[in-house]
Chain A
Amino acid sequence: MNIEVLRDVQESIKADANDIRAALDVQGIRMFNLMGGDGCGKTRLLERLLPKLAGDVRCAVLEGDITTTLDAERIARVNVPVVQLQTNGCCHLEPSLIRGGLDRLPLNELDIIIVENVGNLVCPAEFDIGEHARIAVLSVTEGHDKPAKYPLLFSRADAVIISKMDLLEYTNFDLEQCARNIRLVNANAPIFEDSAEWKLDPAFLKWLAAMPASCA
């Protein structure tokens, strides 16, 4: 006998994520999901961004990694509250882990939480973790074809950062082709260029600040 079901496979994860988002909305906190391949420069970006925001915006970080607390130690050095989330072999973060991390943060003293997801272009994109916006990071050393090869991450991104621009001249990375590949799956997300040797793009800082808390 055939039974019609028509249920979203991720219904319970989405419900958990929506609960997290609603709880953050009540607190007036915006949460960002920072995603990108391993080593694309996510933590390095945070090390530069967080001191820049200090004073204006109260930030905290949830660091997702398969193992080790190395990234959380780097964030702690810039004096920002940080919780290391270890997935113990799992390739992505899910709402249940995020909830545990949020419980350990001083939520009533925060404006922004940035979650650094596990370095991986595939799996993290599949899971809503209760964020308000997603930031995809792609380094020029990974190649301009990646948005076409890993479309889900880029299709769901609210902003894309092309990182390690100082290395552009040593690669065959084609910025125009990359933008075209992003536009194949994402018509609107702003694309920012960045390098650890540059100042942060003011347009990116403006984008971060403009994202209101309830715009899930």
Chain B
Amino acid sequence: MSQSALTETANTLAPDGLQGVVADWSSDQRAFKRVPWGKAMIWIFLLSDTFIFTCFLLSYMMVRMSTTVPWPNTSEIFALSFGGEPIPLILIAIMTFILISSSGTMAMAVMFGYRQDRVKSAILMLVTAAFGATFVGMQVFEWTKLIVEEGVRPWGNPFGASQFGSVFFMITGFHGFHVSVGVVFLIITARKVWRGDFDTNRRGYFTSRKGDYGAVEIMGLYWHFVDLVWVFIFAVFYLW
């Protein structure tokens, strides 16, 4: 049945106004009309993941309150000096900038995906993945610097409360893990788009299901989420 005929039948059934809203929500088959399964699923997953990150960040705030030792000054610790003058948080600022730019390329990849412009979509996804990998690389640099040069350990550090190191490694580690997983899946999805799997109805290796360009959008939702979480980590951990 064509799309217009579909909406017509739906219209004859649906009441107006507030009742219409209720009827839409509780109508048969789908609660969110025109939302494919995968997209619904990733949204619910991200909601659950939001709770994980919220718990991590609230726990950080609570241990920061419970410890009696002063909290180290993040803008000093995360400063890099170029030719003498230390610039506070410069590395983190660059990392943030890179991650936010990657959200832009991701959004474009989604758009070109829906236009079935395979090459552009795949390239933009690979660019996004490259940004992501750069971010993780800079994080590795930051970790190494803190561990090797500054002597920060999960159980203690020379600057103040031992929880500083614990929280830092745990939260940035968990976030970096999300980014890394994203990079891997970006490359996988880019490969599928490049090869034209979604046009030739090639089946997934594990799931033996056909995919569609919705997969690019699902990837995008995950990526923007990881980005957004970083903004919060940046604000409450580095700036505060």
| A and B assemble together | no
Q: Which residues of B contact A (CB under 8 A)?
A: none
Residues of chain A having any CB pair with chain B under 8 Å: none
